[in-house]
Structures are given as structure tokens and as C-alpha cells.
């Protein structure tokens, strides 16, 4: 596929996906399409065990392309744009391998924050400001912000942030549970890759099962989620990775997982 704004490199079984749409890495339709195709490609590659998403330059992603939104003249067109963005965010969330957002630069706003929230884990630089400022433009989040933010920080705080459009610092984002870790900006990508590499070294059958259990369980009752967990646990008990993991523990050696 031809890539103009979404590139990736692979090292130590970790793919680093970089958005490069200056000046703010806006999530235009073209960028969304490239990101969607890139992630689909990476999901098919068995040799890749983890994915890191970051932004080129001084910005992770400032949000959707405001010029494209300004050209919308009908509710149908607006709905289609939101649905397209949501589909890409859903692909990130439903990847069969761990996806980590390396939130670099100065801002992670609007669609950029919605993309980060769709990732399984988030490592942020200490200078980043987070926010969903759509309301200041007379609109609302459309790529999943009203649904994922309350799941991460709670309904009351999510409402406050969405209705005021306020931006918060990286430390507060960490304290709220919006990001997992805050590090100096120069170390963001290095730290995200380190976490990705560590998870890539685990048995991927177990990683996939954990991701499925948590994704499917969040929209079910506790009882239904527990039933799903027990079924996935049982399936893992028949894998070669489970036998290798237990044998390695008993023999006091590092495991050699085969992802099966």
C-alpha cells in the first residue's frame, strides 16, 4: 500500500507506527484510511507481537481535521465521518496484540485523545496536555470520546472535561487513570517500546485471551464476564505455552513461548 502519512518500523517483534501529517498530525480521512490499512496489515503479521503508536514532530495528534469538519453540510455526512473514525478506533481496541500509545509532544486533543484511549495502554510525556475541546467549536466528540473517557476516568469527571473543553496536564491524566505512566518527553517512545517488548516476550496465546476477556467483559454483567474468563482460561490450559510456562517456573529458567 502507498503510505504518505502513516509509516511503521519493526524491531524486536514490536512495530512502531508513526503518524506524520504536519503540522499537527490531524486525523484526516486520508490519515484514518492509512492507519486502518496499516493496523490491519500488522494484525495479520504473526511475527509482530506488539504495536506502538506515536506522532512525528512536536505533536502526538491534535484531533480530527477541522477543515474537513467545516465542509460538512449535512447530518448524514457528519454521521459518516464519525462512523469512519469510530471504526478505526474500534480496530485499535480490538487488535489481537497489545497496542500502546506513546503520547509525545505538547498536545493530545480531540480525535488524538480518542485514538490514545482506544489503545490498550498509554505512556505520556510530561509536557503533554490532554483534552476533548470539541464543545468549544459547537460540536461534540465523535470518534468514541463520550464512551471511552467515562470508562477510564468515571462519568462525573468525563462530563466535566467534555462539557468544559478544559485541558489537563499529564500528571493529572495519570492520577485520573487516563494514562498509565508519565515520563520525560524525550523518553516517551523508548519507554513505550520497552513495555511493548516486555509484553511481546510473553506467551501471545495468553495475551490474546486477556485482551478478549477484558474487551468482551466490559459490556457484560460481572457474572457473564466471569463465565467468559473461565472459558478462556480453560482454553489456555490446553496450550503448549501453558505447559512451557509452568515447566520453566518449576525448573527455574526463562520460558520459551511458542505462542500456541
Phi/psi of residue 245, nearest 5 degrees: -60, -45
Annotated active-site residue in 47, 68, 73, 134: 134
Separation between Cα atoms, residue 183 and residue 115, nearest integer Å: 20
34 belongs to the catalytic site: no
Q: What does each C-alpha distance from 73 to 45, 70, 77, 85, 142 come to in angstroms?
A: 40, 8, 7, 18, 16
CA distance 113 to 126: 15
172 is catalytic: no
* Active-site residue (options: 73, 114, 215, 238): 114
- The residues that are catalytic are 114, 134
Amino acid at each position: 500500500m502507498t503510505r504518505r502519512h502513516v509509516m511503521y518500523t519493526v524491531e524486536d517483534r514490536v512495530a512502531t507506527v508513526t503518524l506524520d501529517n504536519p503540522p499537527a498530525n490531524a486525523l484526516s480521512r486520508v490519515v484514518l484510511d492509512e492507519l486502518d490499512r496499516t493496523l490491519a496489515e500488522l494484525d495479520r503479521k504473526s511475527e509482530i507481537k506488539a504495536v506502538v503508536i506515536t506522532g512525528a514532530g512536536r505533536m502526538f495528534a491534535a484531533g480530527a481535521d477541522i477543515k474537513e469538519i467545516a465542509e460538512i453540510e449535512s447530518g448524514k455526512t457528519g454521521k459518516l465521518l464519525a462512523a469512519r473514525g469510530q471504526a478505526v478506533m474500534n480496530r485499535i481496541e480490538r487488535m489481537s496484540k497489545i497496542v500502546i500509545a506513546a503520547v509525545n509532544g505538547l498536545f493530545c486533543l480531540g480525535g488524538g485523545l480518542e485514538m490514545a484511549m482506544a489503545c490498550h495502554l498509554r505512556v505520556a510525556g510530561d509536557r503533554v496536555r490532554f483534552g476533548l475541546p470539541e464543545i468549544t467549536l459547537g460540536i461534540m466528540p465523535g470518534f468514541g470520546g463520550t464512551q471511552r473517557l467515562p470508562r477510564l476516568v468515571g462519568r462525573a469527571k468525563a462530563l466535566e472535561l467534555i462539557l468544559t473543553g478544559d485541558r489537563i496536564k499529564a500528571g493529572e491524566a495519570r492520577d485520573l487513570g487516563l494514562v498509565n505512566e508519565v515520563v520525560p518527553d524525550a523518553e516517551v517512545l523508548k519507554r513505550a517500546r520497552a513495555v511493548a517488548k516486555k509484553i511481546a516476550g510473553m506467551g501471545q496465546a495468553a495475551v490474546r485471551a486477556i485482551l478478549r476477556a477484558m474487551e468482551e467483559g466490559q459490556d457484560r454483567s460481572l457474572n457473564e464476564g466471569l463465565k467468559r474468563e473461565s472459558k478462556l482460561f480453560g482454553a489456555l490450559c490446553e496450550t503448549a505455552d501453558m505447559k512451557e510456562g509452568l515447566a520453566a517456573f518449576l525448573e527455574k529458567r526463562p520460558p520459551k513461548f511458542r505462542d500456541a
